[in-house]
Amino acid sequence: MDLRFFIELVSSLLITSVVVFISYSFLYKVIWEMDIFLPSLYFYVSLVFFISLCFVAFVNAVPLIEEWKKTILRTEALEKDNLKARMEALRTQLSPHFLFNNLSILNGLIEDDPKGAKAFTSKMADVFRYIISHKNDEIVPLKEEMKFIKDYIFLLETRFKDKFRVDITIANEEFWIPPVTLQQLVENAIKHNQTSYSKPLEITIKQEEDFLVIENEMNANRTPVVSTGIGLLNITQRFEHLTDRKVYFSDLNNIFTVKIPLISNYESSYR
């Protein structure tokens, strides 16, 4: 746009000057048979050039304004999608099903393992506190998200016993991430795969530079779960609002992998 505007401006200057000079000369010398009056010539050249400059600016302003409007609409749409994604994530985590499962486990622990029931209650309270306290946050420190997911995994390990395992390797926690992202991915793995003592569901969460990689071996449920794709779409939409880097999904060699970008301080402040 800048180069095109410059070319149009220079062309306008040259063409305007030539046209005005020829017209002015013809009028004075041929029609009026007079000598050219230079101050008047300079005035008319300047006037016409100013009008031409305004026209060039107007012509270039129209597409710029249109692009500006489109950018505003895209931003508003993205913000709307991001808000819907955050609300959907919160709704999922605070669903009656989630609460019912944990209360049922707690009820069993109270009689069989009072000490374990106390620890479970504490972790459950921490999980709900985290979800509620960050319900309006776009991003949270990775360090806080990792503490949350460990608390959440504690609840799942209590529920599934040795049918469920998670291995976490994080080298650098100086990043940011949308809250409850890892919880959504862990829940997605549980939803679509079998868990058994003979073949436990094993999930790996590891860091590769400025990405988190979440992997699990695919062992589909005997009764297939109808997938709406909303959970993964939710995560994708939340990251689109925060960074230009993409979320990657793959299911090669019977391994389901999700690769999510970690947000730096620069990106979080820029957005």
pLDDT digits (tens, 9 = 90+) for 106-125: 888 888 888 889 999 999 89
Q: Which CATH number do you get for residue 228?
A: 3.30.565.10
Q: Assess whether pLDDT exceeds 60 at residue 82.
A: no
Residue 38 covered by a domain: yes
Residue 207 covered by a domain: yes
The three-class DSSP label of residue 37 is coil
Classify residue 174 by its DSSP letter. -
DSSP assignment of 114-130 equals HHHHHHHHHHHHHHHHH
Report the pLDDT averaged over residues 94-116: 80
Q: Assess whether pLDDT exceeds 60 at residue 226.
A: no
Residue 149 covered by a domain: yes
Report the pLDDT averaged over residues 4-21: 67
Confidence class for position 4, pLDDT limits 50, 70, 90: low
Residue 89 covered by a domain: no
Confidence class for position 270, pLDDT limits 50, 70, 90: very low
Q: Cα–Cα distance between 47 and 59 in angstroms, integer?
A: 19
Helices (H) and strands (E) in the chain, counts: 8, 7
Taking only the tens place, the pLDDT of each residue in 166-201 is: 999 998 989 999 888 999 899 889 988 988 998 999
Q: What pLDDT score was predicted for residue 221?
A: 77
Range of the domain at 26: 2-84
By CB atoms closer than 10 A (0-12, 13-18, 19+), residue 70 is: exposed
Assess whether 125 and 251 both reside in one domain: yes
> Going by C-beta distance under 8 Å and a sequence separation of 6 or more, which residues neighbour residue 268?
139, 176, 242
214 vs 3, more confident: 214
The closest of 138, 169, 134, 162 to 148, measured between CA atoms, is 134
Q: What pLDDT score was predicted for residue 44?
A: 65
Assess whether 78 and 98 both reside in one domain: no
Q: What pLDDT score was predicted for residue 262?
A: 94
46 vs 224, more confident: 46
Assess whether 15 and 36 both reside in one domain: yes
Tally of CA atoms within 13 A in the half-sphere of 194 that contains its CB: 10
How far is the CA of 224 from the CAs of 187, 191, 196, 219, in angstroms? 16, 10, 16, 11
Which structure tokens are listed for 42? 């300079």
Assess whether 60 and 143 both reside in one domain: no
Q: What pLDDT score was predicted for residue 201?
A: 93
Domain count along the chain:
2
